[in-house]
């Protein structure tokens, strides 16, 4: 029973639960960005260039290289990385605001320090 209790304690720690939630939300967000790129952005760009990005291929020694799909994956990555950067930037700025400035030293402590310093001289 000891091992089960240890595992339960480990699994219920805040960091593990937070990480699990982050992974699930990240997966869902990735699906949203993929749908945005594949179903909205790339068809618009494809209409401007006259063909679908899915059909962009190059034939090298008889082997098709689908560089259009690669471009879509790069755009997915750039959007996800940018959004994560913005989220982290906002989180860091709110953390800085939350960090309180050190409290002012009470007068009696300041007076005692002055007395101590004058006695040292």
Domain of residue 8 covers 2-100
Indicate whether 90 belongs to any domain: yes
Is the residue at 91 inside a domain?
Answer: yes
Q: In angstroms, rounded to a whole number, what is the distance separating the alpha carbons of residues 90 and 83? A: 11
- Confidence at 102, pLDDT banded by 50, 70, 90: low
Q: Is residue 117 part of a domain?
A: no
Beta bridge partners of 60: 63
Write the pLDDT tens digit of every residue in 3-47: 888 877 777 776 777 888 888 998 998 899 889 988 998 899 889
| Number of folded domains that form the chain | 1
Inter-residue contact 24 to 58 (CB < 8 Å): no
Q: Write down the pTM of the prediction.
A: 0.61
Assess contact for 43 and 52: CB atoms under 8 A.
yes
CA angle 17, 19, 21 (to 5 degrees): 70
The answer as to whether 78 is a domain residue is yes
Is 111 inside a domain boundary? no
**Which residues are 65's β-sheet partners?**
58
Q: What is the CATH number of the domain that holds 30?
A: 1.10.1200.120
Structural domain contains residue 79: yes
């Amino acid at each position: 029973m000891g091992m089960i209790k240890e595992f339960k304690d480990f699994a219920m720690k805040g960091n593990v639960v937070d990480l699990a939630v982050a992974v699930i939300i990240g997966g869902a967000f990735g699906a949203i960005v993929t749908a945005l790129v594949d179903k909205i952005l790339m068809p618009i760009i494809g209409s401007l260039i006259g063909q679908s990005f899915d059909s962009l291929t190059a034939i090298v020694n008889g082997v098709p290289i689908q560089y259009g799909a690669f471009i879509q994956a790069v755009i997915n990555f750039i959007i996800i990385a940018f959004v994560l950067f913005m989220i982290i930037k906002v989180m860091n700025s709110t953390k800085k605001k939350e960090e309180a400035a050190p409290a002012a030293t009470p007068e009696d402590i300041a007076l005692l320090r002055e007395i101590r310093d004058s006695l040292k001289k």
